[in-house]
Amino acid sequence: MKMLAIVVATVAMAACDRTTNSGGTLIASAPAPTIAAQISPLTPPLLVATTTPCVSGIAFTTGFDLVIVQTGAVDVFVDQVTLRLIDGSGLGGPSITIPQLQLMSMFGSTRVAGTRAFPFQPQFACALTRPGSIAGKVVLTDADGIVGTVSVEAAFR
């Protein structure tokens, strides 16, 4: 929760157009709402998935909350989430894209008002090496149809 407080404080101080920092992308345009996201815990577990057979490589699964903080007066909606395993080779690893309809079936509403945690337990297809981290891109829309993205990343234990 301490990291979340730091993220919220950083977001509160933002007052310019889109900026990027090492903790993710912040959407900020004064006086429009600002949005931040993070993976919690900051170091999620990485487990071998026994339910996904691999001809070559290993399938992995993990569990974490995608925490989105919306500090403005306008609610936003999670429209799409793409998660990718990062193996350190620079090529990336297996990815999963979860569209809005699937998100709605997983969570009911995708509305974010204030702070909301979305629990994920993705299973990734076969990777050739053990990934070191996970990266995510979250596409958000507001009631006016304005689209923005936030990026997240976390290292595995």
Residue 125: the pLDDT is 85
Average pLDDT over residues 56-84: 92
Q: What is the DSSP letter of 25?
A: E
Q: Which two tokens stand for residue 30?
A: 């004064």
pLDDT, tens digit (0-9, with 9 covering 90-100), for 34-45: 889 999 999 999
Task: Give per-residue pLDDT as tens, 6-30.
Answer: 343 343 333 333 333 334 444 443 3
pLDDT of residue 73: 80
Q: pTM for this one?
A: 0.77
* pLDDT band at residue 74 under the 50/70/90 scheme: confident
Residues 85 and 131: their CA atoms lie apart, in Å, by 6
Distance CA 61, CA 52 (A): 10
pLDDT in tens, 82-141: 999 998 776 678 899 999 999 999 999 999 989 999 999 999 988 888 899 999 999 999
Per-residue tokens: 65: 């909350």
Structural domains of the chain ordered from first start: 37-155 (2.60.40)
